[in-house]
């Protein structure tokens, strides 16, 4: 099973990952489970556990132009972390590191990080730029779900 996890909060541009997950959940790619994770913190470890592969979708703030979609291998994230927006008690990178140490992280996956312009956490709507980027993240997640599904089938055939 491939698990797609949209991460964020319902406020401002940090909602971009949740918006992408909501769109994917309406018509999930074959062989996937889609989860909206509102500020998961340590709960992310539980969400990673048991998946053959994972696609994480979250907001990032690196200084790149807003709307940029960073597409990374899951295990490049701890080695070369981008600035994922974290309003969580335990950030995504830290949760992934801990899940790996505990043997609860999937063997493979992707991180789709949506560059946001605003870090405002006050109740406000997600910007048009972040919403548009979340649509692109949906398309990339569909692509990666198919690729990861093929890799998972190959590994079971070996």
Closest C-alpha among 4, 18, 2 to residue 85: 18
Closest C-alpha among 31, 54, 46 to residue 111: 54
| Most confident segment among 27-31, 82-86, 124-128 | 27-31
The mean pLDDT value of the chain amounts to 89
Give the pLDDT mean for 138-146.
Answer: 98
Give the pLDDT mean for 73-91.
Answer: 71
What tens digit of pLDDT does each residue of 105-116 get? 999 999 999 999
Given a cut of 60, is residue 86 above it in pLDDT?
Answer: no
More confident residue, 154 or 145: 145
Cα separation, 14 vs 35, in Å, equals 16
Predicted pLDDT of residue 144:
98
| Most confident segment among 5-14, 47-56, 71-80 | 47-56
Q: What angle do CA 106, 108, 109 make, to 5 degrees?
A: 100
Q: Look up residue 123 and give its two tokens.
A: 């109740």
Assess if CATH 3.40.50.1450 describes domain 2-157: yes
Given a cut of 80, is residue 80 above it in pLDDT?
Answer: no
What tens digit of pLDDT does each residue of 40-58 get? 988 999 999 999 999 999 9
The full length of the chain comes to: 158
What residues does each domain of the chain span? 2-157
What tens digit of pLDDT does each residue of 119-139 get? 666 668 899 999 999 999 999
Q: Which residue shows structure tokens 């979340």? A: 134
Q: Look up residue 72 and give its two tokens.
A: 């990374």
Predicted pLDDT of residue 91:
83
Predicted pLDDT of residue 106:
96
DSSP string of 77-146?
Answer: HHHS---B---SSS-HHHHHHHHHHTT-S-SEEEEEEEE-S----SS-PPPHHHHHHHHHHHHHHHHHHH
Cα separation, 91 vs 98, in Å, equals 11
Residue 153: pLDDT band with limits 50, 70, 90: low
Q: Dihedral of the CA atoms 129, 135, 141, 146 (nearest 10)?
A: -150
């Amino acid at each position: 099973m491939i698990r797609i996890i949209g991460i964020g909060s319902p406020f401002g541009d940090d909602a971009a990952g949740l918006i992408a997950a909501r769109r994917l959940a309406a018509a999930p790619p074959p062989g996937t489970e889609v989860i909206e994770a509102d500020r998961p913190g340590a709960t992310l470890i539980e969400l990673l556990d048991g998946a053959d592969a994972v696609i994480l979708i979250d907001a990032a703030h690196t200084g790149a132009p807003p709307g940029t979609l960073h597409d990374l291998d899951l295990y490049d994230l701890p080695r070369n972390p981008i600035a994922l927006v974290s309003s969580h008690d335990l950030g995504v990178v830290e949760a992934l590191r801990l899940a790996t140490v505990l043997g609860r992280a999937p063997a493979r996956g992707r991180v789709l990080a949506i560059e946001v312009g605003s870090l405002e956490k006050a109740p406000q709507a997600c910007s048009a730029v972040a919403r548009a980027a979340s649509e692109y993240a949906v398309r990339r997640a569909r692509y990666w779900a198919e690729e990861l599904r093929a890799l998972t089938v190959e590994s079971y055939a070996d």
